[in-house]
Structure 1
Amino acid sequence: MTGTIPNLGPDKVSLGVTPTLWWNDDFPLIDIGIPFEQCVSEMALAGFQGCSIGHKYPADDPTALKEALDLRGLQVSEPWVSTYFTIGDRDRTIGNFKRQLEFLKAVGGRDIVVAEFGQSSHLQPIPVFDHRPEFNPTDWERLTSGLNEIGRLAADSGMRLCYHHHMGTGVQSAADIDKLMEGTDAQYVHLLFDTGHLQLAGDDPLATAEKHKQRIKHVHLKNVRQPVADKVRSDHLSFQEAILEGVFTVPGDSEGMIDFRPVLTTLGNAGFEGWLVVEAEQNPATACPLKYAKMARAYLTDVLGW
């Protein structure tokens, strides 16, 4: 059935895609040499309206970046800021955040995505499940107070801070998300809801979408190959090894196990307005980026009706 999701028309949501289909921004060696211009051209060719920022983008020159995206009919869905509140690096974190706010203003975006990488294990060549950090009360206080502070900075600039739960960090599971939402100000700290990270963590994305639907302001649509996810846990793989094994794929891939329709229906019924961003951290040497981008866009056309 086509177009079964209520309240998620083009007047409410925009469809984006991340450059992690074309290269990996956490692990630069996962790369076959696709340049920035080809990446953003293929995003537009696949039918997307915007994209997040990758390390090959001319991010030090927002004018050049905006011109390149405008030429292809693309907007910036989000820049990324890693926070380090839990290890006491507050001042540098806030300074980096302010610089990204200025960048976002220059390129014309609204949402700014953050994740706490203090104590994170996901960039290290160690088992991602076995070594994820567990925050103590001091860590949680540093994180939530810091997020409230930079969330106010974003709001004062007409922007929205959206927190990205992430594998290998202290906010990985549904319970972690619950705690983060309880400890932060709903006026300033919103949730970036990532279906793939929650599924890989072992939780039900739909349950979290239902619970926090009013806080969700930005969405990453990522699918999971469940047999690979099971292997990541049983074989104690690192996050990089999980990506190379093919744990993630896009919505619309028959190998993925997430049913996105009820998740999107929940968001539509809750009045969601913002970016739905396709993300699949895959190896471009084995997963043709344009093929998977078009696959995801075709699926969203079928589900959303546009």
Structure 2
Amino acid sequence: MSRLNLGYGTNGLTDLRLDDALALLADLGYDGVGLTLDHMHLDPLAADLAARTARLARRLDRLGLQVTVETGGRYVLDSRRKHAPTLLDEDEDARGMRVRLLIRALRVAADLGAHAVHCFSGVTPAETDPDTAWKRLADTLEPVLDVAEETGVPLAIEPEPGHLLGDLAGFHRLRADLGDPPPLGLTLDIGHCQCLEPLPPADCVRDAAPWLKHVQIEDMRRGVHEHLPFGEGEIDFPPVLAALAGTGYQGLTVVELPRHSHAGPELAAHSLHFLRNGGTG
């Protein structure tokens, strides 16, 4: 079985400067980092993004950290609406803002040597019927997938509870709607599997293995979409970690605790100890 490459998400370290967050993770012994593009770390809208990205690439190389680029910044595009606009927005220009963010993320990821770029569909607008929403999602993603193919960086879409693409079945629908394009991969969030998938998380891992490009991990309870530190939810982690290792997945498995930044350094240390000990603490 493969050894898992473990990372920690910068969206759970927002109280730290990026340089300090990266040094912390390297010192603790993490293999990499899930880098959320946002104003407090690497701002995707900054005029000097290229120079900042080049500096970051050198920093990651010196620290020996791998990276996956994540695009879940809450207010990165709209300072008043969380995660807005999305790929499903009624307004074409608004959808274009999200498309440009993802394309920029793919180019940043290529410059950083990242495993993948993470994204999500967004919530279906109230005035949009489901079939229209699915067609809009596929159409809007096409130019993004063209850039993913050009850069050689997979686009890994995440099933997100409450979104149009909310579960693994939704991922497979999108994949079929797009004609199964090679650049389209999957971000599998282990907590989300516990929250709403019909199969246990370990079975979800095995079923999703052919499309895995990014993995997020945290504890969670059934039916409650709340990211929890390990040991505070209901997930049986040893079978999950064994399933991940058994797939041969070589990307990052990133701890995802975006609402626990206040305790980020302590939770980063605890999480690594928990996962390196096979999910038993």
Interval containing the TM-score (normalised by the shorter chain): 0.7 to 0.9
Please state whether the residue corresponding to 2:206 is helix, strand or coil. Answer: helix
Specify the alignment match of 1:292 in structure 2: 267
Specify the alignment match of 1:18 in structure 2: 9
The answer to whether the aligner puts 1:221 opposite 2:235 as a matched pair is: no
Over 3 Å counting, the alpha-carbon distance change for 1:168 and 1:273 in structure 2 is same
Identical positions, percent: 21
Matched AA of 1:295? H
Deviates more, 1:48-57 or 1:73-82: 73-82
Match of 1:248 among 227, 236, 242: 227
CA distance in 2, matches of 1:103, 1:196: 27
The answer to whether the aligner puts 1:110 opposite 2:83 as a matched pair is: no
Output one character per residue of 1:270-298: Cα deviation in whole Å (capped at 9) or x when no partner: 3322111111223344xx22222122212
Matched AA of 1:140? W
Matched AA of 2:227? F
Query: How far did 1:119 drift?
Result: 4.0
How many residues align? The count is: 254
Query: How far did 1:99 drift?
Result: 1.9
Query: How far did 1:302 drift?
Result: 2.1
Over 3 Å counting, the alpha-carbon distance change for 1:272 and 1:134 in structure 2 is farther
The answer (yes or no) to whether the contact 2:107–2:151 under 8 Å persists in 1 is: no
Matches within 5 A, 1:1-306: 6=1, 8-9=2-3, 13-23=4-14, 33-54=15-36, 55=38, 56-59=40-43, 60=49, 61-80=52-71, 84-87=86-89, 88=92, 89-117=94-122, 119=124, 136-184=130-178, 185-201=180-196, 203=198, 204-224=200-220, 226=221, 247-250=226-229, 253-285=230-262, 288-303=263-278
Matched AA of 1:260? F
Over 3 Å counting, the alpha-carbon distance change for 1:45 and 1:148 in structure 2 is same
Output one character per residue of 1:151-186: Cα deviation in whole Å (capped at 9) or x when no partner: 232122111110012233222234433433443415
Matched AA of 1:160? P
RMSD of aligned residue pairs (Cα, Å) = 3.0
Query: How far did 1:191 drift?
Result: 0.6
CA distance in 1, matches of 2:211, 2:168: 14
Query: How far did 1:202 drift?
Result: 5.9
Structure 2: give runs of 5+ residues left out of the alignment.
44-48, 73-82
Structure 1: give runs of 5+ residues left out of the alignment.
1-5, 24-32, 121-130, 233-241
Deviates more, 1:254-263 or 1:214-223: 254-263
Specify the alignment match of 2:75 in structure 1: none
Q: TM-score, normalised by structure 1?
A: 0.71
CA distance in 1, matches of 2:204, 2:66: 28
Please state whether the residue corresponding to 2:195 is helix, strand or coil. Answer: helix
Matched AA of 2:137? L
CA distance in 1, matches of 2:209, 2:42: 34
Please state whether the residue corresponding to 1:159 is helix, strand or coil. Answer: coil
Over 3 Å counting, the alpha-carbon distance change for 1:145 and 1:260 in structure 2 is farther
Over 3 Å counting, the alpha-carbon distance change for 1:93 and 1:296 in structure 2 is same
Matched AA of 2:208? H
Over 3 Å counting, the alpha-carbon distance change for 1:209 and 1:135 in structure 2 is farther
Larger RCO: Structure 1 or Structure 2 (Cα < 8 Å, ≥ 6 residues apart)?
Answer: 1
CA distance in 1, matches of 2:42, 2:171: 33
CA distance in 1, matches of 2:278, 2:192: 22
